[in-house]
Structure formats: C-alpha cells, structure tokens
Amino acid sequence: MFRILLIMMIACTVQSAKFPTDLEKCKYDDEKCYINVANTIMKRGSKGYAELGLPVFEPLFVNKIGIDQGGDGPVVLKLHMKDVNIHGFSGVKFKAIKGLGKNIDKAKIDLKYTQPIFQMIGKYTTEGKVLVLPVQGDGNCNITLVNNDCHVKLLTKKIEKNGKSYMQIDKIKFNFDTTDAKIVFENLFNGNKELSDTFNLFINDNWRDILKEIKPAMSESIAAVYKQIINNIFGNIPYDELFTE
Ligand SMILES: *[C@@H]1O[C@H](CO)[C@@H](O)[C@H](O)[C@H]1NC(C)=O
C-alpha cells in the first residue's frame, strides 16, 4: 500500500488566457496536427506558455512530492522531496494523441510520448527499508531515468463558466517504462560516507526491482502534477476556442 503526500507546484496565474498566435489551431480529431502542436509546445519548455497557463517547465519546479510506501513488501519507504526541479520535458516527443474530439464530457483521451531524460533534482528526507537494507538520510538527491516510454490516460469532464464550456480532467493514469536509472542520495546515514556509497551502489545495481516497487506511487505523483498543469491550461480557454472547424 502506498500513500501520496502533499504535491504542490508554483501556480502560473493567467491574466487573460487566449490561444497563442504562434501555434497552429487544429481541426477536431486531427491527430497529426495535435502531435505537431504538442511537440512544438514541449520544445518551448524553458519559456513556458504563460498565455496558455503553462508554466516554465524546463525545469518544472515542484515544491513537494512525497511517497509513503507502507506494508510488508520489499520496499517500505518514506521519501519526501522538496524544491524539486524536474528536467527533461523539453525532450518530450508525442507519438499518439487519441480521443481528443468535440465531445469533452467523459471523453477518454490517450497520450503516448517518449522522454529521453526524466531527472528530478532536489532535497530529500528518507527513512525505511529497501530490499532488506535499512535506510535513513536527508540531503540532495538526483534521480535520473533514461529513455522513458510514457502513457497517459485521461477521463474528462465538462464544466460551464459564463455560458462557455471548458474541459477538465476527472481521472488520470500515468505509466512509464524506462531503460536505465541513475540515482544519487547524498548525505545518507548522517553523512557516513562508507554506508552512503554502499547504499547508492546497491540501489543503482538494483534499480529495476526498486522502481517496480515504487512505480505506482511515483506514477501517481507525476499524474497529479500533470493533472494540475492540464487543468490549468484547459480551465483558462473555452474548449471550442482551441480548435478550428
Ligand atoms: C544528475 O545525474 C545525472 C546522471 O548521472 C548527471 O548527468 C547530472 O549531471 C546530475 N545532475 C546534478 C545536478 O547532479
């Protein structure tokens, strides 16, 4: 069993949201056009799209992410991270965007993309047990996942404001596969270098087994961040103003 603790990010406040003039408007259900526009938006990560309600996301700043993995499995862990910069979103390439059409009430949307680097850099505190080894520490951490194949599933809901319809996410599921991971936790075990090095070596050798255990919690944290971003974008511009007929 796991629990996700606080997840918050710096909100991007929008004065007057409107569709950016440098982006193409797509026809409904034109997947090729969607993929093009989505990839263009991702490339602009270091600037964001304030007019879309999209914050700077290269890096994406998340002030708290926490995983609280209880139970009697091989990984029992409290891992709280703060002031986390997530790097790598500007390398996202969309492969599929399905289900984004005229209907926004309970629509099922499927997004697939690749992300060569997903890197979380920030402060952590941790306490628990990872595959028989007890662990405890606080300091800087760097979690880098390489070659990520990602899949987001959304269930939408329609909301009305001042006679206009807006799309919002009701449910979100995120999943990913990754081919390599490099993890560094500094200052484990009150700064005991020998124990710290041993543990870091151990988790890097066993990252597949560890990731398998914490993936549901991690995926849920990431999904919560995505939900906030997507709802911010779609909550600011009436749905039909995002498309052309
Ligand atoms: C984080 O780890 C990656 C992979 O080992 C490395 O390339 C990168 O320089 C590290 N970044 C920081 C800030 O430590």
> Two tokens at 59?
């890096």
Full-prediction pTM beyond 0.75? Answer: yes
Percent of the chain with pLDDT over 90: 64
CB 144 less than 6 A from any atom of ligand 1: yes
Q: Which residue from 184, 200, 201, 204 has its CB within 8 A of the most atoms of ligand 1, so it is best to mutate?
A: 184
Pairing label, strands 243-244, 26-27:
parallel
CB 140 less than 6 A from any atom of ligand 1: no
Q: Name the residue with the closest Cα to ligand 1, atom 6.
A: 144
How far apart (Å, rounded) are the C-alpha atoms in residues 184 and 68? Answer: 19
Q: What is the pLDDT of residues 121-171, one digit of tens each?
A: 999 999 999 888 899 999 999 999 999 999 999 999 999 999 999 999 999
- Domain range summary for the chain, segments of one domain joined by +: 2-242
CB 182 less than 6 A from any atom of ligand 1: yes
Fold of 2-242: Bactericidal permeability-increasing protein; domain 1 (3.15.10)
The CA 67 to ligand 1 mean position distance, Å, reads 22
> Two tokens at 67?
């995983």
The CA 184 to ligand 1 mean position distance, Å, reads 9
The CA 229 to ligand 1 mean position distance, Å, reads 26
The CA 239 to ligand 1 mean position distance, Å, reads 39
Q: Which of 35-44, 72-81, 106-115, 227-236 reaches the highest mean pLDDT?
A: 106-115
